[in-house]
């Protein structure tokens, strides 16, 4: 019998489940919730199903002790949570993209346990969730591998903006300029668009154009690794906007550049790292050599205090404890 069942909606969402599952000591497996999630993990056993869209039927046929899910949209198309305890863990911990309101408005009323990345999220969950929902601050499991990792000092920069289709961040306005900024320089650029922007418009056209240009450049790499963790470990500077990758990157303590030229009409990029409308090589040079200015360090420290994310490398352990508690 499978005790812990992970419901995976998209392949790139596997990173959170894998970071939790390594600490789970009961039987576990995953079921794809969409066709493209089939075969997405080689670390968690997959239960093959004839129709991934038949989520309720699949969960009932598997009959787990608990279901773990990390998406927010479309939960009302399911009913399995009426019979099985549901644990919600975030995919990504975006700051400034309105994700808190999405989570509190869509899924919390259906869960048994909500795992919060930090106290900022837990506070909002407590205000919105029914009193029967257990809310636990666990941290960000997929960021555990970044804690204590030494800076590579390899002149390597990671560009990883938010999902443009949903977040309307800086990708469409900055991707080409970022590639050209680093073209034929002494830096290595890891160019990592969100997986959605590799397959769906309007980001897909930008990705294709940049990928064609990258093929001409020896020092720019199209980062196609399944999850961003290893690329973060290998990078000295992150260039982003308000992507969830920022909350993970904060575990490294390394310099952050946030591009503010976003297309969302009702949002602003939260000022956590160094902010700028456009990438500039002199700025990158300064951050690589000297780190963030004192004022930015103070601002980052203030943000870390308000986010309340435990960054001790044990988020996966805490999440696993909560999942198995719910399965008991």
For 243-262, how does the pLDDT look when each residue is reduced to its tens digit (9 = 90+)? 999 999 999 999 999 999 99
Do the Cβ atoms of 226 and 10 come closer than 8 Å?
no
Position 105 scores a pLDDT of: 79
For the record, the structure tokens of 15 come out as: 């990173």
Backbone angles phi, psi at 267, to 5 degrees: -135, 160
Closest alpha carbon to 99 in 85, 86, 118, 112 = 118
Domains of the chain: 4-143+312-327 (3.40.50.2000), 148-307 (3.40.50.2000)
Kindly tell me the burial class for residue 1, based on how many C-beta atoms sit within 10 Å of its own C-beta (0-12, 13-18, 19 or more).
exposed
Q: What's CA 115's distance to the chain center, in Å?
A: 14
Position 160 scores a pLDDT of: 98
Closest alpha carbon to 244 in 161, 165, 174 = 161
pLDDT digits (tens, 9 = 90+) for 193-222: 999 999 999 999 999 999 999 999 999 999
Position 72 scores a pLDDT of: 65
- DSSP H or E stretch at residue 239: strand 237-240
Residues 210-224 as b/e (b if ≥16 CB within 10 A, e otherwise) read beebbeebeebbbbe
Query: How many whole angstroms separate alpha carbon 135 and alpha carbon 93?
Result: 16
Strand positions, DSSP E, 124-168: 134-137, 156-159
Positions in the chain whose pLDDT score sits under 50: none
Position 93 scores a pLDDT of: 86
Do the Cβ atoms of 206 and 171 come closer than 8 Å?
yes
Closest alpha carbon to 267 in 100, 115, 140 = 100
Position 101 scores a pLDDT of: 76
Model confidence, pTM: 0.95
Strand positions, DSSP E, 70-200: 86-89, 113-116, 134-137, 156-159, 188-191
Q: What's CA 6's distance to the chain center, in Å?
A: 17
Closest alpha carbon to 179 in 202, 195, 161 = 161
* Angle at CA of residue 294, ends 257 and 245, nearest 5°: 30
Kindly write down the DSSP assignment for every residue of 97-118, as one continuous string. SSHHHHHHHHTGGG-SEEEESS
Taking each helix axis from N to C end, the angle separating 99-106 and 119-128, rounded to the nearest 10 degrees, works out to 40
């Amino acid at each position: 019998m499978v005790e812990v069942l992970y419901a995976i909606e998209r392949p790139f969402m596997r990173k959170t489940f894998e970071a939790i599952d390594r600490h789970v000591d009961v039987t576990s497996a995953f079921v794809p919730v969409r066709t493209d999630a089939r075969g997405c993990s080689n670390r968690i056993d997959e239960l093959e199903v004839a129709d991934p869209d038949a989520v309720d039927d699949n969960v009932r046929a598997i009959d787990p002790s608990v279901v773990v899910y990390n998406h927010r949209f479309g939960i009302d198309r399911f009913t399995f949570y009426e019979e099985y305890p549901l644990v919600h863990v975030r995919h990504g911990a975006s700051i400034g993209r309105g994700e808190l309101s999405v989570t509190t408005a869509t899924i919390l009323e259906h869960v048994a346990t909500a795992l919060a990345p930090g106290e900022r999220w837990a506070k909002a969950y407590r205000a919105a969730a029914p009193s029967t929902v257990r809310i636990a601050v666990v941290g960000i499991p997929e960021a555990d591998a970044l804690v204590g990792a030494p800076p590579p000092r390899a002149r390597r920069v990671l560009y990883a903006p938010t999902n443009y289709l949903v977040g309307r961040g800086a990708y469409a306005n900055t991707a080409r300029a970022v590639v050209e900024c680093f073209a034929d320089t002494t830096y290595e650029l890891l160019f990592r668009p969100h997986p959605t922007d590799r397959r769906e418009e309007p980001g897909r056209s930008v990705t294709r154009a940049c990928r064609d240009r990258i093929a001409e450049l020896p020092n720019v790499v199209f980062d196609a690794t399944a999850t961003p963790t290893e690329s973060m470990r290998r990078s000295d500077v992150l260039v982003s906007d308000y992507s969830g990758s920022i909350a993970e990157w904060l575990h490294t303590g390394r310099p952050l550049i946030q591009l503010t030229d976003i297309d969302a009409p009702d949002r602003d990029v939260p000022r956590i790292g160094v902010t700028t409308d456009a990438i500039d090589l002199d700025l990158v040079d300064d951050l690589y050599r000297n780190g963030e200015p004192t004022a930015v360090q103070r601002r980052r420290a203030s943000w870390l205090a308000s986010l309340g994310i435990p960054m001790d490398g044990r988020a996966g352990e805490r999440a696993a404890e909560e999942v198995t508690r719910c399965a008991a």
